Structure 1
Amino acid sequence: MAPLSTTDLPAIPAAQGNTPASQAAAAAEAAAPAAPPSTPPANDAARARLERLMARGAAFLGSRVAIMGGAMSWISERNLVAALSNAGAFGVIACGAMEPPRLAEEIAATQALTDKPFGVNLITMHPRLDALVQVCLDAKVGHIVFAGGIPPTPAIRKAKEGGAKVVCFAPALALAKKLVRSGADALVIEGSEAGGHIGPVSLNVLAQEILPAMAAEVPVFVAGGIGRGEALLSYLEMGAAGAQIGTRFVCATESIAHPKFKQAFIRGAARDALPTVQLDERFPVIPVRALQNEGTKRFLEHQAGVIRRHQSGELDKVAAQLDIEHYWAGALRRAVIDGDVENGSLMAGQSVGMVTKEAPAAEILAELMDQAAAALAARA
């Protein structure tokens, strides 16, 4: 989940060489049909079956492949979002702390790079949530993803009445049912293996709890720790409509993440991506999974300071939680944009160990699909 600050974030710098001319060329190249991979004839049936397993999710998203890009602040912007959608997946802009004018600019810039569907992820605690929903509707964004808490029913209603499909995160079965009753058109169940803000339950358990009960009612997308196609396939066969994947696309060539940030992911292992610790049960802080560095240690000191200010009455609960989110927004920017991988935040899922190189988003997507199809073919 993307962090939130109450202040507007500065414009995200364009990827290197991202001039208007190069943007148009990149969009045209990405939109062109990719050369079909060299696939043994025996895999044709497996690929057809994989497409059938993904058909419901792909139809809901309006994409060729039922894979949503995980919304990662500073990373899931116009370049990566457009690249994913042009490759056949479904890119999602991470609004994070953007103010409405900044989000409108990012949506327009993304639409200039792709004519394929993409969505926008909005943080429910954003103080201008209603205005952000309106920005999405004005720009004819077809899918709004609400994250970071239970979205207000009026926000869901406004999005749906404006013509957008609503996607919500469901960390438990009871909440999944409540969200659908409130109007959610689809759900994402994200396990604790994911990067960034996480819940306490693994995807393996959430899938067993929620998919049998909800998959027939609405499309359910799985997220957290999915780094290979075989894992994707297993959840599709359990009834998932598709998946949301973030960490595997951080090192896409289209990602504007700093080279040092990408190298940290390439060097990282699953055991390096650990959740932060909650220091005081009376002050709930959502754990954040990230690669360990000095910035992680510094967060514990910052959290202790915020707790002291909250206990002294200097900060109320909401202000204290926003202070924490503001910390993460700044720390993530230092790492992603500035390349300060020692003091910034390296939010990463446990699938980081499967990130081994920088590659185009289309290539990463094709690899995931090839792995899933090969697993199906091996059973024949």
Structure 2
Amino acid sequence: MPDTATPAAPSALTDPARRAEARARLDHLWGRGTRFLGSEYALLAGAMSWVSERNLVSAISNAGGFGVLACGAMEPARLAEEIAATQALTTRPFGVNLITMHPQLDELVRVCLDAGITHVVLAGGIPSGPVIRAIKEGGAKVIAFAPALVLAKRLMRLGVDALVIEGSEAGGHVGPVSLTVLAQEILPHVHDVPVFVAGGLGRGDAILSYLEQGASGAQLGTRFAASRESIAHENFKKAFIRANARDAVTSVQLDERFPVIPVRGLNNAGTRRFVQHQAETLRRFQSGELTKEAAQLDIEHFWAGALRRAVVDGDVENGSVMAGQSVGMITGEQPVGEIIKQLVDQAIDALIRQDERARYG
């Protein structure tokens, strides 16, 4: 991250000419990302189930970012309805996030293409070659997640148009490696497609540091989840505002025979009960009361509907309050436009400070 310990002169930070110069440098740094997305800023919105719907997505795109609808478990007809509703709220481009394991993935792809969606984000696993080809032949661009360099290279061979490298600091389902390490592993070696960084990002100067390492833009979710335009329950937003970074923890696995997909969220009564539930399920398995398959299903079903309970119903004690570690930077409910402006201003301030150090030491 750029060193901001030495403050620039106030006149430098407020000088319109200096800010315009720094903004031009920022536009150059993430130019590949903005050209790819078709947005003013290379700020890609993370797709969050129950949160990334028409209101938030259109607000992000209207503010110059790139909103992404979260399809999640939607049926094709429901997705078509949500896309049309979003298009009624913005004329700017936005994307749709599809889960590769969805049983109707092919139909969902067709819905996106028929609606003129320009970018499809494939998540939840390595997408197949035929799905990638269908999207590209339909005229849309494909974005996929690369949790390691070897997978980044494989995805590029399959034809994806851009990559997201998401560190374990992110909210929701996460991998084991931090963004700091992923960036060092992947950015120096991937040049053929734009790469967007994600995970724990909450400030513009941090985003700038990754742009200077070769990233084309950044993906953020947690900060937008607590925005004014987010339809999340007030209890959900207040939990974000109260939380510190250390409160966003990954789910615990008690026994390697019964794997638990790591999910980062705010520690609450539900997460503590999940540990107890695993222990009780293990006891029932060891006593012969449950088969291994039944025990695994019992563990997996614990969180069924838990995200909806938190986001929609506001039960932040028993629901799953998915949040990244950047949650500690949220101090209040802000409009999306203000969040994006703040991120851009922080990056510009950092560039001006760099210039001041270069001039005066």
> TM over 0.5, yes or no?
yes
**Percent identity between the aligned chains?**
68
Residue 178 of structure 1 corresponds to: 154
SS of structure 1 residue aligned to 2:125 = coil
SS of structure 2 residue aligned to 1:166 = strand
Residue 288 of structure 1 corresponds to: 263
1:84, 1:362 within 8 Å by CA — same for their partners in 2? yes
SS of structure 2 residue aligned to 1:212 = helix
Structure 2 Cα separation of the partners of residues 53 and 256 of structure 1: 33
**CA distance 1:283–1:248, change in 2 (3 Å):** same
Q: Is residue 2:338 matched to residue 1:373? A: no
Shift of 1:315: 4.5
Shift of 1:125: 1.2
Match of 2:239 among 245, 252, 264: 264
Paired amino acid for 2:174: I
SS of structure 2 residue aligned to 1:347 = coil
Residues 209-255 of structure 1: per-residue CA shift (max 9 Å, x gap): 000101x2100000000000110000000000000000011121110
Q: Is residue 2:144 matched to residue 1:168? A: yes
Shift of 1:126: 1.2
Residues 19-78 of structure 1: per-residue CA shift (max 9 Å, x gap): xxxxxxxxxxxxxxxxxx976432221111001111100010110100111111111000
**CA distance 1:42–1:155, change in 2 (3 Å):** same
Match of 1:141 among 117, 130, 133: 117
Alignment of 1:3-152 (within 5 A): 40-152=16-128
Structure 1 Cα separation of the partners of residues 106 and 281 of structure 2: 28
Paired amino acid for 2:332: K
Q: Is residue 2:252 matched to residue 1:277? A: yes
Shift of 1:373: 0.5
SS of structure 2 residue aligned to 1:145 = strand
Larger radius of gyration: 2
Residue 4 of structure 2 corresponds to: none
1:192, 1:224 within 8 Å by CA — same for their partners in 2? yes
Structure 1 Cα separation of the partners of residues 327 and 70 of structure 2: 20
1:70, 1:244 within 8 Å by CA — same for their partners in 2? yes
Structure 1 Cα separation of the partners of residues 67 and 281 of structure 2: 35
Residue 243 of structure 1 corresponds to: 218
Residue 6 of structure 2 corresponds to: none
Paired amino acid for 2:334: A
Match of 1:159 among 135, 141, 153: 135
Structure 2 Cα separation of the partners of residues 374 and 281 of structure 1: 47
1:261, 1:341 within 8 Å by CA — same for their partners in 2? yes
Structure 1 Cα separation of the partners of residues 139 and 259 of structure 2: 36
Residue 228 of structure 2 corresponds to: 253
Structure 1 Cα separation of the partners of residues 129 and 216 of structure 2: 24
Q: Is residue 2:333 matched to residue 1:358? A: yes
Identify the range of structure 1 (292-301 vs 87-96) with the bigger mean alpha-carbon deviation: 292-301
Paired amino acid for 2:160: A
Shift of 1:123: 1.0
Match of 1:223 among 190, 195, 198: 198
Shift of 1:279: 2.2
Paired amino acid for 1:63: S
Alignment of 1:200-219 (within 5 A): 200-214=176-190, 216-219=191-194
Structure 2 Cα separation of the partners of residues 258 and 294 of structure 1: 18
SS of structure 1 residue aligned to 2:305 = helix
Shift of 1:285: 2.4
Residue 3 of structure 2 corresponds to: none
2:281, 2:295 within 8 Å by CA — same for their partners in 1? no
1:199, 1:286 within 8 Å by CA — same for their partners in 2? no
**CA distance 1:153–1:115, change in 2 (3 Å):** same
Structure 1 Cα separation of the partners of residues 278 and 212 of structure 2: 41
Aligned length: 339
SS of structure 2 residue aligned to 1:150 = coil
Structure 1 Cα separation of the partners of residues 248 and 93 of structure 2: 32
**CA distance 1:358–1:167, change in 2 (3 Å):** same
Structure 1 Cα separation of the partners of residues 177 and 25 of structure 2: 30
Structure 1 Cα separation of the partners of residues 225 and 247 of structure 2: 16
Shift of 1:157: 1.2
- Structure 2: 5+ residue runs without aligned partners? 1-12, 356-361
